[in-house]
Chain A
Amino acid sequence: MPAGKTYTPLARTTLTSSAASVTFSNISGSYTDLILVCNTMRTTGLDNIGVRFNSDTGSNYSWTIIKGSGSAASSDRRSSVTDIIFNVYNNDINTPSVGILQIQNYSNTTTYKTALSRSSGSAAGYVYATVGLWRNTAAITSITLLDEGSTSAVINAGSTFTLYGILAA
Protein backbone atom coordinates (compact mmCIF):
# COMPACT_ATOMS: atom_id res chain seq x y z
CA MET A 1 0.00 0.00 0.00
CA PRO A 2 1.28 3.51 -0.71
CA ALA A 3 2.74 5.16 2.37
CA GLY A 4 1.39 8.60 1.60
CA LYS A 5 2.83 11.82 0.30
CA THR A 6 6.59 11.75 0.50
CA TYR A 7 8.21 14.55 -1.55
CA THR A 8 8.92 17.20 1.06
CA PRO A 9 10.55 20.62 0.69
CA LEU A 10 13.18 20.88 3.44
CA ALA A 11 14.79 24.26 2.83
CA ARG A 12 14.97 27.03 0.27
CA THR A 13 17.53 29.78 -0.19
CA THR A 14 17.15 32.81 -2.44
CA LEU A 15 20.28 34.91 -2.51
CA THR A 16 19.56 38.57 -1.77
CA SER A 17 23.19 39.44 -2.51
CA SER A 18 25.93 37.59 -4.30
CA ALA A 19 27.65 34.82 -2.36
CA ALA A 20 30.71 32.60 -2.65
CA SER A 21 28.82 29.53 -1.52
CA VAL A 22 25.50 28.22 -0.26
CA THR A 23 25.24 25.58 2.46
CA PHE A 24 22.36 23.46 3.64
CA SER A 25 23.29 22.20 7.10
CA ASN A 26 21.72 20.05 9.80
CA ILE A 27 20.01 17.91 7.16
CA SER A 28 17.75 15.40 8.82
CA GLY A 29 18.53 11.74 8.27
CA SER A 30 14.83 10.94 8.22
CA TYR A 31 14.47 10.71 4.44
CA THR A 32 15.64 8.19 1.87
CA ASP A 33 16.89 10.47 -0.91
CA LEU A 34 17.67 14.14 -1.32
CA ILE A 35 16.98 16.29 -4.37
CA LEU A 36 18.49 19.73 -4.76
CA VAL A 37 17.07 22.05 -7.42
CA CYS A 38 18.93 25.22 -8.27
CA ASN A 39 18.38 28.19 -10.54
CA THR A 40 21.60 30.13 -10.82
CA MET A 41 23.31 33.14 -12.32
CA ARG A 42 26.96 34.21 -12.02
CA THR A 43 28.10 37.78 -11.50
CA THR A 44 30.69 37.50 -14.27
CA GLY A 45 31.70 35.07 -16.97
CA LEU A 46 31.08 31.34 -17.15
CA ASP A 47 31.99 28.57 -14.73
CA ASN A 48 30.59 25.64 -12.77
CA ILE A 49 29.05 25.16 -9.37
CA GLY A 50 30.48 22.21 -7.48
CA VAL A 51 29.13 20.24 -4.54
CA ARG A 52 30.76 19.17 -1.28
CA PHE A 53 29.31 17.10 1.50
CA ASN A 54 29.74 17.46 5.26
CA SER A 55 32.29 20.30 4.73
CA ASP A 56 34.83 17.73 3.47
CA THR A 57 37.48 19.72 1.58
CA GLY A 58 39.70 16.69 0.96
CA SER A 59 40.38 15.07 -2.40
CA ASN A 60 37.65 12.52 -1.78
CA TYR A 61 35.43 13.25 -4.75
CA SER A 62 35.38 12.10 -8.36
CA TRP A 63 33.02 12.44 -11.27
CA THR A 64 32.19 11.40 -14.83
CA ILE A 65 30.25 13.72 -17.11
CA ILE A 66 28.49 13.85 -20.46
CA LYS A 67 28.06 17.32 -21.88
CA GLY A 68 26.66 18.87 -24.98
CA SER A 69 27.91 22.21 -26.25
CA GLY A 70 25.34 22.84 -28.95
CA SER A 71 27.64 21.46 -31.61
CA ALA A 72 29.14 18.30 -30.09
CA ALA A 73 28.77 15.78 -27.27
CA SER A 74 31.73 14.82 -25.12
CA SER A 75 32.63 13.06 -21.88
CA ASP A 76 35.18 13.92 -19.22
CA ARG A 77 36.30 12.71 -15.81
CA ARG A 78 38.11 13.93 -12.69
CA SER A 79 39.54 11.73 -9.95
CA SER A 80 40.52 12.63 -6.38
CA VAL A 81 39.25 16.20 -6.58
CA THR A 82 37.73 18.45 -3.92
CA ASP A 83 34.16 18.64 -5.23
CA ILE A 84 31.68 17.12 -7.69
CA ILE A 85 30.88 19.24 -10.74
CA PHE A 86 27.18 20.04 -10.81
CA ASN A 87 25.81 23.16 -12.45
CA VAL A 88 27.11 25.17 -15.42
CA TYR A 89 26.13 28.84 -15.23
CA ASN A 90 27.07 32.29 -16.48
CA ASN A 91 26.29 35.96 -16.04
CA ASP A 92 23.12 36.28 -18.15
CA ILE A 93 20.58 37.24 -15.47
CA ASN A 94 17.66 36.83 -17.87
CA THR A 95 18.64 33.24 -18.64
CA PRO A 96 19.61 31.47 -15.43
CA SER A 97 20.88 27.92 -15.48
CA VAL A 98 18.95 25.11 -13.88
CA GLY A 99 20.31 22.05 -12.13
CA ILE A 100 18.90 19.00 -10.37
CA LEU A 101 21.08 16.95 -8.04
CA GLN A 102 19.89 13.55 -6.81
CA ILE A 103 21.51 11.84 -3.83
CA GLN A 104 20.16 8.36 -3.17
CA ASN A 105 20.37 6.75 0.28
CA TYR A 106 22.26 9.75 1.61
CA SER A 107 21.93 8.80 5.27
CA ASN A 108 23.20 5.24 5.16
CA THR A 109 26.54 4.69 6.87
CA THR A 110 27.73 1.65 4.92
CA THR A 111 28.21 2.82 1.33
CA TYR A 112 30.12 5.59 -0.40
CA LYS A 113 27.69 8.17 -1.75
CA THR A 114 26.85 8.40 -5.46
CA ALA A 115 25.06 11.48 -6.80
CA LEU A 116 23.42 12.02 -10.19
CA SER A 117 22.82 15.44 -11.67
CA ARG A 118 21.53 17.23 -14.71
CA SER A 119 22.22 20.86 -15.50
CA SER A 120 21.61 23.18 -18.38
CA GLY A 121 21.92 26.79 -19.31
CA SER A 122 21.03 27.98 -22.76
CA ALA A 123 22.98 31.18 -22.26
CA ALA A 124 25.83 29.26 -20.67
CA GLY A 125 25.77 27.10 -23.78
CA TYR A 126 25.97 23.64 -22.26
CA VAL A 127 23.88 20.76 -21.01
CA TYR A 128 25.46 18.45 -18.41
CA ALA A 129 24.71 15.06 -16.92
CA THR A 130 27.04 13.89 -14.19
CA VAL A 131 27.60 10.98 -11.86
CA GLY A 132 29.73 11.82 -8.84
CA LEU A 133 31.26 9.82 -6.01
CA TRP A 134 32.09 10.89 -2.47
CA ARG A 135 34.38 8.31 -0.96
CA ASN A 136 32.95 8.40 2.53
CA THR A 137 30.42 6.20 4.30
CA ALA A 138 29.19 8.96 6.63
CA ALA A 139 25.59 10.08 6.47
CA ILE A 140 25.30 13.35 4.57
CA THR A 141 24.25 16.11 6.96
CA SER A 142 25.33 19.17 4.99
CA ILE A 143 25.62 20.15 1.34
CA THR A 144 27.75 23.06 0.17
CA LEU A 145 27.50 24.55 -3.31
CA LEU A 146 30.47 26.61 -4.39
CA ASP A 147 31.85 28.21 -7.51
CA GLU A 148 34.63 26.07 -8.98
CA GLY A 149 36.47 28.98 -10.57
CA SER A 150 36.50 31.58 -7.82
CA THR A 151 36.41 31.90 -4.05
CA SER A 152 34.84 35.35 -4.41
CA ALA A 153 31.11 36.07 -4.12
CA VAL A 154 30.23 35.27 -7.75
CA ILE A 155 26.96 33.34 -7.28
CA ASN A 156 24.62 36.16 -8.13
CA ALA A 157 21.71 37.59 -6.18
CA GLY A 158 18.43 36.03 -7.25
CA SER A 159 19.89 32.54 -7.52
CA THR A 160 17.65 29.99 -5.79
CA PHE A 161 18.43 26.66 -4.15
CA THR A 162 15.74 24.29 -2.89
CA LEU A 163 16.34 21.03 -1.05
CA TYR A 164 13.73 18.26 -1.01
CA GLY A 165 13.58 15.00 0.90
CA ILE A 166 12.01 11.83 -0.51
CA LEU A 167 10.85 9.20 1.93
CA ALA A 168 10.46 5.61 0.75
CA ALA A 169 8.01 3.14 2.25
Chain B
Amino acid sequence: MAIRSLKTGQFSRSALVGNPVIMPGSYESIATVTVGSGGAASIEFTSIPSTYSHLQIRGIARGTKSSTVAFLNMKLNSDTGTNYAYHILQGDGASAVGSAVANDTFMDWARYPAASATASIFGASVIDILDYGNTNKFKTVRYLGNYDANGSGYLEFRSGLWRSTSAISTITFSWDSGDFAQYSTFALYGVN
Protein backbone atom coordinates (compact mmCIF):
# COMPACT_ATOMS: atom_id res chain seq x y z
CA MET B 1 0.00 0.00 0.00
CA ALA B 2 1.38 3.39 -0.90
CA ILE B 3 1.46 5.91 1.92
CA ARG B 4 1.52 9.63 1.17
CA SER B 5 3.22 12.16 3.47
CA LEU B 6 0.83 14.98 4.27
CA LYS B 7 3.80 17.30 4.72
CA THR B 8 5.75 16.61 1.53
CA GLY B 9 3.27 14.88 -0.71
CA GLN B 10 5.81 12.12 -1.17
CA PHE B 11 4.66 8.53 -1.73
CA SER B 12 6.28 5.56 -0.01
CA ARG B 13 5.59 2.04 1.16
CA SER B 14 6.82 3.03 4.61
CA ALA B 15 4.85 4.86 7.29
CA LEU B 16 8.08 6.75 8.01
CA VAL B 17 7.80 8.71 4.78
CA GLY B 18 8.73 12.29 5.43
CA ASN B 19 7.92 12.03 9.10
CA PRO B 20 9.90 11.55 12.29
CA VAL B 21 9.47 8.37 14.28
CA ILE B 22 8.54 10.15 17.50
CA MET B 23 6.81 13.49 17.46
CA PRO B 24 8.73 16.11 19.42
CA GLY B 25 6.86 17.05 22.55
CA SER B 26 5.87 13.49 23.45
CA TYR B 27 9.24 12.49 24.84
CA GLU B 28 10.48 13.43 28.31
CA SER B 29 13.67 12.81 30.24
CA ILE B 30 13.07 10.95 33.52
CA ALA B 31 16.55 10.27 34.92
CA THR B 32 20.19 9.78 33.94
CA VAL B 33 22.99 7.84 35.61
CA THR B 34 26.62 8.53 34.68
CA VAL B 35 29.36 6.42 36.25
CA GLY B 36 32.13 8.29 38.01
CA SER B 37 35.82 7.59 38.38
CA GLY B 38 35.36 4.75 40.87
CA GLY B 39 33.17 2.68 38.56
CA ALA B 40 29.84 1.16 39.60
CA ALA B 41 28.63 -2.40 40.08
CA SER B 42 25.20 -1.55 38.71
CA ILE B 43 23.10 1.21 37.20
CA GLU B 44 19.57 1.41 38.50
CA PHE B 45 16.47 3.49 37.87
CA THR B 46 13.96 3.35 40.73
CA SER B 47 10.53 4.82 41.47
CA ILE B 48 9.73 5.07 37.76
CA PRO B 49 6.34 6.78 37.44
CA SER B 50 3.60 4.95 35.52
CA THR B 51 2.43 8.12 33.84
CA TYR B 52 3.94 7.41 30.42
CA SER B 53 2.88 5.02 27.68
CA HIS B 54 6.35 3.63 27.01
CA LEU B 55 9.93 3.87 28.24
CA GLN B 56 13.13 4.26 26.25
CA ILE B 57 16.63 3.78 27.64
CA ARG B 58 19.60 5.15 25.73
CA GLY B 59 23.17 4.65 26.79
CA ILE B 60 26.81 3.89 26.29
CA ALA B 61 28.66 1.33 28.38
CA ARG B 62 31.99 -0.35 28.98
CA GLY B 63 32.88 -2.98 31.56
CA THR B 64 35.87 -3.44 33.85
CA LYS B 65 35.92 -7.24 33.51
CA SER B 66 39.40 -8.61 32.69
CA SER B 67 38.44 -9.54 29.16
CA THR B 68 37.83 -7.92 25.79
CA VAL B 69 34.08 -8.19 26.36
CA ALA B 70 31.59 -8.21 29.22
CA PHE B 71 27.94 -9.25 29.02
CA LEU B 72 25.36 -6.65 29.97
CA ASN B 73 22.14 -7.78 31.62
CA MET B 74 18.94 -6.12 32.76
CA LYS B 75 16.47 -6.98 35.52
CA LEU B 76 13.02 -5.49 36.07
CA ASN B 77 11.58 -4.69 39.50
CA SER B 78 14.59 -6.50 41.03
CA ASP B 79 13.07 -9.84 39.97
CA THR B 80 15.78 -12.52 40.20
CA GLY B 81 13.51 -15.42 39.26
CA THR B 82 13.63 -17.38 36.03
CA ASN B 83 11.00 -15.13 34.48
CA TYR B 84 12.90 -13.72 31.52
CA ALA B 85 13.21 -14.91 27.93
CA TYR B 86 14.69 -13.36 24.80
CA HIS B 87 15.19 -13.88 21.09
CA ILE B 88 18.41 -12.84 19.39
CA LEU B 89 19.48 -11.76 15.89
CA GLN B 90 23.24 -11.30 16.02
CA GLY B 91 25.77 -10.15 13.44
CA ASP B 92 29.46 -10.65 14.15
CA GLY B 93 30.81 -9.29 10.89
CA ALA B 94 30.86 -12.72 9.25
CA SER B 95 27.43 -14.23 9.69
CA ALA B 96 23.97 -13.48 11.02
CA VAL B 97 22.67 -15.92 13.61
CA GLY B 98 19.36 -16.27 15.39
CA SER B 99 18.84 -17.93 18.74
CA ALA B 100 16.65 -17.84 21.83
CA VAL B 101 16.93 -18.27 25.59
CA ALA B 102 14.07 -19.20 27.92
CA ASN B 103 13.64 -19.09 31.69
CA ASP B 104 16.65 -16.93 32.38
CA THR B 105 17.16 -14.83 35.51
CA PHE B 106 17.72 -11.63 33.51
CA MET B 107 17.52 -10.20 30.00
CA ASP B 108 20.95 -10.64 28.45
CA TRP B 109 22.02 -7.74 26.21
CA ALA B 110 25.29 -9.47 25.25
CA ARG B 111 28.75 -8.16 24.56
CA TYR B 112 30.20 -4.75 25.36
CA PRO B 113 33.87 -3.66 25.40
CA ALA B 114 35.67 -4.47 28.64
CA ALA B 115 39.06 -3.83 30.23
CA SER B 116 41.15 -5.57 27.56
CA ALA B 117 39.43 -3.84 24.65
CA THR B 118 40.94 -0.79 22.98
CA ALA B 119 40.67 2.18 25.31
CA SER B 120 37.90 4.72 24.74
CA ILE B 121 35.58 2.30 22.91
CA PHE B 122 32.10 2.07 24.42
CA GLY B 123 29.12 0.06 23.24
CA ALA B 124 25.78 1.76 22.67
CA SER B 125 22.17 0.70 23.05
CA VAL B 126 18.60 1.81 22.59
CA ILE B 127 16.03 -0.16 24.60
CA ASP B 128 12.27 0.28 24.29
CA ILE B 129 9.87 -1.03 26.93
CA LEU B 130 6.35 -0.83 25.57
CA ASP B 131 3.25 -0.40 27.73
CA TYR B 132 5.41 -0.79 30.84
CA GLY B 133 2.71 0.41 33.26
CA ASN B 134 0.05 -2.07 32.16
CA THR B 135 -0.91 -4.55 34.91
CA ASN B 136 -2.81 -6.97 32.68
CA LYS B 137 -0.08 -8.40 30.49
CA PHE B 138 3.51 -9.57 30.44
CA LYS B 139 6.12 -7.00 29.32
CA THR B 140 7.94 -7.09 26.00
CA VAL B 141 11.22 -5.23 25.44
CA ARG B 142 12.97 -4.29 22.19
CA TYR B 143 16.75 -3.91 22.03
CA LEU B 144 19.27 -2.60 19.46
CA GLY B 145 22.90 -2.26 20.37
CA ASN B 146 26.45 -3.47 21.04
CA TYR B 147 29.74 -2.23 19.59
CA ASP B 148 32.31 -2.09 16.84
CA ALA B 149 36.04 -2.17 17.68
CA ASN B 150 37.66 -1.70 14.26
CA GLY B 151 38.09 -5.34 13.35
CA SER B 152 35.79 -6.98 15.85
CA GLY B 153 32.37 -6.35 17.31
CA TYR B 154 28.73 -7.31 17.31
CA LEU B 155 25.41 -5.79 16.30
CA GLU B 156 22.33 -7.31 17.88
CA PHE B 157 18.58 -7.05 17.71
CA ARG B 158 16.87 -8.65 20.67
CA SER B 159 13.35 -8.97 21.95
CA GLY B 160 12.85 -9.73 25.60
CA LEU B 161 9.93 -11.02 27.62
CA TRP B 162 9.37 -10.54 31.34
CA ARG B 163 6.64 -12.88 32.52
CA SER B 164 5.06 -10.54 35.05
CA THR B 165 1.97 -8.39 34.91
CA SER B 166 3.40 -5.89 37.38
CA ALA B 167 3.95 -2.33 36.30
CA ILE B 168 7.68 -1.72 35.87
CA SER B 169 8.99 0.65 38.51
CA THR B 170 12.66 -0.37 38.72
CA ILE B 171 15.24 -1.18 36.01
CA THR B 172 18.67 -2.51 36.94
CA PHE B 173 21.70 -3.02 34.69
CA SER B 174 24.74 -5.08 35.67
CA TRP B 175 27.42 -7.32 34.12
CA ASP B 176 28.22 -11.00 34.15
CA SER B 177 31.43 -9.93 35.89
CA GLY B 178 33.05 -6.64 36.84
CA ASP B 179 31.73 -3.11 37.09
CA PHE B 180 30.67 -0.32 34.80
CA ALA B 181 33.68 1.73 33.72
CA GLN B 182 33.84 5.48 34.19
CA TYR B 183 31.81 7.46 31.62
CA SER B 184 29.26 4.68 31.15
CA THR B 185 25.88 6.38 31.12
CA PHE B 186 22.24 5.40 30.75
CA ALA B 187 19.36 7.83 30.34
CA LEU B 188 15.71 6.91 30.89
CA TYR B 189 12.95 8.62 28.91
CA GLY B 190 9.18 8.46 29.01
CA VAL B 191 7.20 8.41 25.77
CA ASN B 192 3.54 9.40 25.44
Residues in A lying within 8 Å of B, measured CB to CB: 2-9, 14, 32-33, 37, 39, 62-67, 73-77, 79-80, 94-96, 98, 100, 102, 104-105, 108, 110-112, 114-116, 118, 120, 122-123, 129-133, 135, 137, 158, 160, 162, 164, 166-169
Contact = CB atoms under 8 A, between A and B. Distances in A.
A166 B89 CA distance: 27
Contacts of B155: 64-66, 75, 116, 129-131
Chain B contact surface mostly:
strand
Contacts of A3: 28-30
Interface stretch (B69-77, B78-86, B131-139, B141-149): B141-149
A15 to B, nearest CB: 11
Chain A contact surface mostly:
strand
B151 interface: yes
Given A2-B190, A7-B22, A166-B189, A110 B60 contact: no
Interface residues of B, number: 59
Contact of A64 (B22, B24, B59, B154): B154
A113 to B, nearest CB: 9
B10 interface: yes
Nearest to A105: B60
Contacts of A80: 150
Contacts of B150: 62, 79-80, 133, 135
B126 interface: yes
A66 B91 contact: yes
Contact of B126 (A2, A9, A79, A116): A116
A3 B189 CA distance: 10
Contact of B10 (A39, A76, A77): A39
Contacts of B123: 114, 131
